[in-house]
Copies of this chain bind each other. A is one copy, B any other.
């Protein structure tokens, strides 16, 4: 076969993905320091040599894990608000979805990991920040800007995002996860509060 992608490269990529998958679970569960490469190799079924054939070091593997998760998170965020115009129902829908994204198991674990290891791995912190929060804010500002001024949209975005991420902050430390009803009640009062600061009809220019 003279395929541009031979079986060689395909298998290699598959193996790599498998390693990243196992490593993700381990880093998520035990944190960076308490995850051991030997344990990953064992779970993989293969040997350590295979691990080092794909990643030069533990840090390299960690970076690959975070990169993948950030990507998936970033995609989730993207899908919520693309080409939406402001309306109260659209706002409510968006808030509920954002909250859902942020409370997903993987998103919580990613956040935990970035918060705890960010100090020691600045490049990981930046990777997450630019593709996560920064992007999110841009989307939300655009959404509000379809109804209010850019300055006001920025202000509202900041408050709205703060409320949603603040809710997550609490979840991180709570013994049990919040009920559906609690989440809905929170979104309702959040939306009510935000809409108080927005005129019912678009101001004609």
Q: Which chain A residues have a beta carbon within 8 Å of chain B's beta carbons?
A: 30-34, 112-120, 122, 125-126, 128-129, 132-133, 155, 158-159, 161-170, 172-175, 186, 189-190, 192-194, 196-197
Instruction: Report chain B residues within 8 Å CB of A166.
Output: 161-167, 169
The residue on B at minimum CB distance from A126 is B175
How far in angstroms is the closest Cβ of chain B from A199? 13
Q: How far is the CA of A166 from the CA of B159 in the complex (A)?
A: 9
The residue on B at minimum CB distance from A188 is B155
Show 24 A/B contacts (Cβ-Cβ < 8 Å), sorted by A: A30-B120, A31-B31, A33-B33, A112-B116, A114-B173, A115-B116, A115-B172, A116-B117, A125-B175, A129-B174, A132-B173, A158-B186, A159-B189, A159-B193, A162-B163, A162-B167, A162-B169, A162-B186, A163-B163, A165-B166, A168-B169, A193-B194, A193-B197, A196-B196
Instruction: Report chain B residues within 8 Å CB of A122.
Output: 175
Q: Is the interface of A mostly helix, strand, loop or mixed?
A: helix
Which one of B119, B133, B155 lies within 8 Å of A170 (CB-CB)?
B133
Which 3 A-B residue pairings sit nearest by Cβ, starting from the closest? A116-B116, A162-B166, A166-B166
Q: How far is the CA of A109 from the CA of B68 in the complex (A)?
A: 27
Residues A129 and B196 in contact, CB atoms below 8 Å apart: no
How far in angstroms is the closest Cβ of chain B from A157? 11
Instruction: Report chain B residues within 8 Å CB of A113.
Output: 116
Instruction: Report chain B residues within 8 Å CB of A115.
Output: 112, 115-116, 172-173
Residues A175 and B129 in contact, CB atoms below 8 Å apart: yes
The residue on B at minimum CB distance from A129 is B173
Q: How far is the CA of A116 from the CA of B33 in the complex (A)?
A: 11
Residues B116 and A31 in contact, CB atoms below 8 Å apart: yes
How far in angstroms is the closest Cβ of chain B from A113? 8
How far in angstroms is the closest Cβ of chain B from A61? 17
Choose among A117, A118, A172, A175 the residue with the greatest number of B CB atoms under 10 Å from its CB.
A172
